Amino acid sequence: MANQLGRSFHRVSTMKLVCLLLLVLHFGVLANGGNRKFSSRPAAVNLGAIFNFNSTNGRAAMVAIKAAMDDINSNSSILRGTKLVITMEDSNYSGFLGIVEALRFMETDVVAIIGPQSSVIAHVISHVANELHVPLISFSATDPTLNSLQFPFFVRTCRSDLFQMSAIADIVDYYNWKQVITIYIDDDYGRNGVAALGDQLDERRCKISYKAALPPGAARSDIMDLLIKVALMESRIIVLHAPECGIEVFSVAHYLGMLENGYVWIATDWLSSFLDTFTPPDSEVINAMQGVLTLRQHTADSERKDDLLSRWRNLTKKEPGRYFGLNAYGLYAYDTVWIIAHAVDSFLNDGGTISFSNDSRLADTGGTLHLEALTNFDGGRPLLDKILKTNITGVTGPLIFNSDKDLMLPAYDIINVIGTGFWRVGYWSNYSGLSIMTPESLYTKPPNRSSINQQLSPVIWPGETTEKPRGWVFPNNGRHLRIGVPDRVSFRQFVTKTDSTDTIKGFCIDIFTAAVSLLPYAVPYKFVLYGNGRENPNYAVLTNKVASGELDAAVGDVAIVTNRTKIVDFTQPYIESGLVVLVPMKRHQSSAWAFLEPFTLEMWCVTGALFLVVGAVVWILEHRFNEEFRGPPKKQMITVLWFSFSTLFFAHRENTVSTLGRMVLIIWLFVVLIIQSSYTASLTSILTVQQLSSSIKGIDSLVSSNDPIGYQVGSFAKDYLIEQLGVSSSRLKALGSPEEYARELDLGPDNGGVAAVVDERPYVDLFLSTQCRFSTVGSEFTKSGWGFAFPRDSPLAIDLSTAILTLSENGDLQRIHDKWLTRTACISETDEIEAQRLHLSSFWGLFLICGVASFLALLIYFIVMLRQFIRHFRHEETDLPVSGSSRSLRNLQAFFSFVDEKERHAKTRPRQNPTENPSHGTINVD
């Protein structure tokens, strides 16, 4: 806690010390020195009290202090014969008078001072208390800079504003608001409270967008001028920390229409004290603060509290003026007296004596000031220890101090002003945060500050609505948003400036304008081009300008990457993106021997061998039982070969009769089916699908090589390749246009070009729409998108994200995409059909094999027949003609007649006797 307090709060200025010295110079003290010592159990113990009698808290405190003093003096169990005497002095809203009264108390032998009420006075008097060792116990000085390190004799019996500001920050965070405006009195109390609020908001990624300070004693005209400025601001969440003029602020705000729908007012606990004190408030006052939220220091319900409340009306009858209620500070004032009484009683029981002595340093000052009359309380430190060790239960609940001299278990009620009064919408405690359950019920459970556990009841906001206000509006100050737009020189479909009219258009611009048109409020803006017009700008610098406030937003093809999200907020991505590898491709042309490519050489050899093995196995299993697998060796060899290879087409005619043979054949036919299907699919792919090949297969092979890599100027690809993938910067080459992409890729790394280009998917897709000799390889190795950049915690980014989602759902996003980024075909439809046709070049190898086989078969057939013809005529001893062309013609006729005779005999010969001896006059067909 001390670390939190010490982070932002400034110390008391030296001007206050100068004021104190001037006061002492003008404050003549006429008293003689010497030590004054009382018995260990004196008849009376003197206390002083300094506060504003006519203030909201002062009225309740005066009655409460008197009631506590009477209750203690009438209680025989405490102080036992020693009377508690409290002298009250009115500081009358004056810091000077407060200091005067404090110094007067120092000469009247008081053991402690109750107060001061004001944090401003407490800062100065605490220096006096430190010097004279008089405990200063305040029931209402909530300034968080009054800490135990600087002011060891200052004790606070109420809650520090540090906790109140933490509660307000939790409320702001609970409703997902990001910016607030603070209105406060420009004094120590106001400034330090707002500083504490700023620290608490920072921890929750919220902030104070504007600090509106009012001078002490501000007039209505001052308030009017200030609220007019506030009304022109963006934020509609206003925190009011101004007890002196808070009611007047609400009156002016109501007059200006600042308590209508859309506004949120959160007042610190001064408002709840006012409402508790002046019950019921004037109708004009309560009407000016409808829907306001305020805090009240939480006090647990108890019998002692109920008893004091029941006596309160009788106690206030003695006071002049109308009846006023008992607020939380009155309860703390009552308990403060009891804390001191218990501490004094414990101090006296331990043998402590109440004695005072002069400070030699004051006596040595000389002159006529008589500073020696200001005495030290010798028992000041022991009494302070007793106060801090207090462990009692008062009307406000348990009274126990922690090491920072703060009461333990701080909590607040959250109040909503509505109608003629107010109602409680929840609680805040330092233990569990926001809750609709009482803090006392939560103390019995483990602490839980999770967002799910934070709850509040419905609130009636200004304008009598239960709908949570958005919390901001576009500022009505006449200033246009400065929207930074990259001045691109390539891929101008995304963002471009027309040379003739200087208007900015493109895919990204259309998305932005369409999203803005869906917002429920007007957004005046103007585009500011960023770049030199000669090369694409650096997008990291563009986002830095947004983060620094030089630009209000950045609209364009800005990628959402980690380093940028640390300094700005992005909208919902409106297009997916990611880095890809672009390479030149070589088309694979199928050859005449493409039908061999589906299988490797090993596959062809093994497959052929298996045909022969299976044929031999089936022959072994069948030839003993199956007549079709019997016969001469030559016939059996032909049968085995025919059976084996005919199974490839399921055309085998031989039947298998053995069980084992059938089992082998079934398994083999299944294998043949798989082989045939695989071959067909692979060959179809080879012949019909356009095969592309490249030495770069993806980002891994690109990084592992030493080839140069291209990237687009201004893209984050360069930093990603260097920082994330470890690519040397010497391998990277900046490219500024699609034409450079094509030229460098065509050159290749061997001719001074690049092996590949690494760029974002939208750019590459647009490039490939007209450049079909290139392609991407591998997959995207980053996943991101493009969005519009805004300063951190900008509410406009949230609303535009919702608008972009709406564009996506209603189809407008796709229509804008088709307008700017529809890919044109690189080849015509006729060319595409032609590319899918099969040409003779892919099959002439097969045709050649078939033709050669047919030719060889015919050649062998004619050679065999010619040999038989010659042998036949030699056997018959027929004289062949011997002269001229007629001889050749007769020989040819005789040859064809011989062939016809052979075919006729082959058709008419008996099947059971396929061969006969030629000597018997028949022709052998074999």
Q: Which of 626, 656, 688 is the last residue of a domain?
A: 688
User: Is 557 in contact with 512 (CB distance < 8 Å)?
Assistant: no
Q: Residue 910: inside a domain, yes or no?
A: no
Structure tokens at 336: 């403060």
Same domain, 267 and 416: yes
Q: Quick one: angle between helices 14-26 and 119-132, nearest 10?
A: 70
Task: Say if CB 475 and CB 467 are below 8 A apart.
Answer: no
Exposed/middle/buried for residue 898 (C-beta within 10 Å: 0-12, 13-18, 19+): middle
The residue type found at 844 is: W
Residues 48, 98 within the same domain:
yes
Q: Which domain holds residue 626?
A: 594-688
Closest C-alpha among 177, 234, 175 to residue 207: 177
Question: Is 229 found in the same domain as 141?
Answer: no
Cβ–Cβ contacts within 10 Å for residue 530, how many?
19
Residue 201 and residue 60 in one domain:
no
Residue 674, pLDDT score: 78
Q: Does 482 map to a domain? A: no
**What tokens were used for 764?**
């590459």
Residue 48 CA to residue 101 CA, distance in Å, equals 9
Question: Quick one: 86 and 192 in the same domain?
Answer: no
In the chain, which residues have pLDDT < 70? 1-40, 319-322, 359-374, 477-478, 586-591, 619-631, 644-645, 648-659, 661-662, 687-694, 823-855, 857-858, 861, 874-887, 902-926
**Contacts by 831-840, CB closer than 8 A, 24 or more apart:** 835/690, 836/688, 838/687, 838/688
Tokens 């364009």 correspond to 556
Assess contact for 110 and 46: CB atoms under 8 A: yes
Listed residue (123, 119, 153, 162) closest to 139, CA to CA:
119
The whole-angstrom separation of Cα 468 and Cα 451 is 18
In this structure, is residue 796 part of a structural domain?
A: no
Structure tokens at 369: 């000031």
What pLDDT, on the 0 to 100 scale, is given for residue 296?
A: 96
Regarding whether 143 and 185 lie in a shared domain, the answer is no
- What is the C-alpha to C-alpha distance for residues 857 and 229, in angstroms, rounded to an integer? 107
Last residue of a domain, one of 453, 486, 518: 453
| pTM of structure | 0.70
Q: Does residue 136 contact residue 122 with C-beta atoms inside 8 Å?
A: yes
Of 155, 121, 157, the closest CA to residue 135 belongs to 155
User: What is the count of structural domains for the chain?
Assistant: 3
Q: How far is CA 852 from the centre of its chain?
A: 73
| Residues facing 580 on adjacent strands | 759
Measured at the CA of 256, the angle between CA 523 and CA 247, to 5 degrees, comes to 130
> Residue 833 has what pLDDT?
42
**Per-residue pLDDT reduced to its tens digit, 39-58:** 467 889 999 998 888 888 88
Distance CA 612, CA 644 (A): 6
SS3 call for 185: strand
Mark whether 251 and 182 lie in a shared domain.
Answer: yes
Q: How far apart are CA 154 and CA 142, in angstroms?
A: 12
Q: Which two tokens stand for residue 318?
A: 């003695």
**Residue whose entry in the numeric block shows the structure tokens 């017009």:** 533
Do both 165 and 155 map to the same domain? no
* SS3 letters across 243-295: CCCHHHHHHHHHHCCCCCCCCEEEECCHHHHHHHHCCCCCHHHHHCCCCCEEE
Domain boundary (626, 654, 688) is at 688
Q: Are 799 and 517 in contact (CB under 8 A)?
A: no
Residue 812 lies in a domain: no
Structure tokens at 349: 């029981």
d(CA 891, CA 551): 107
Whether 395 and 258 map to the same domain: the answer is: no
- The per-residue pLDDT for range 68-124, each reduced to its tens digit, is 999 999 998 898 889 999 999 888 777 777 777 777 777 778 899 998 888 888 888
- CB contact set of 153 (below 8 Å; sequence gap of 6+): 126, 129, 130, 133, 134, 135, 136, 380, 384
Considering the domain architecture, whether residues 190 and 294 belong to the same structural domain is answered as: yes
Distance CA 299, CA 2 (A): 24
Residue 348 lies in a domain: yes
CATH number of the domain encompassing residue 216: 3.40.50.2300
Using an 8 Å Cβ cutoff, are 313 and 319 in contact? no
Asked if 579 and 760 touch (Cβ cutoff 8 Å), the reply is: yes
816 and 514 Cβ atoms separated by less than 8 Å: yes
For residue 379, which of 31, 35, 30, 29 has the smallest C-alpha distance?
35
Identify whether 582 is part of a domain: no
Cα distances (Å, whole numbers) of residue 74 to 330, 337, 653 = 20, 14, 128
Give the largest Cα separation in the chain, rounded. 179
In 3D, which of 703, 826, 817 has the Cα closest to residue 762?
A: 817
Please choose, from the candidates 437, 412, 420, 426, the residue with its C-alpha nearest in 3D space to the C-alpha of residue 459.
426
pLDDT at 588: 59
Same domain membership, residue 248 and residue 105: no
Buried-exposed string 54-82: b where 16+ CB fall within 10 A, e elsewhere: ebbbbbbbbbbbbbbbebbbeeeebbeeb
Residue 90 domain flag: yes
Distance of CA 233 to the CA centre of its chain: 27
**Model pLDDT, residue 322:** 65
Q: What is the DSSP letter of 675?
A: H
Q: Does residue 151 sit in the same domain as residue 165?
A: no
CA distance 234 to 230: 8
Residue 71 domain-assigned? yes
653-670 b/e (C-beta count within 10 Å ≥ 16 → b): ebebebeebeebbeebee
Angle among Cα 669, 671, 677 to the nearest 5 degrees reads: 100
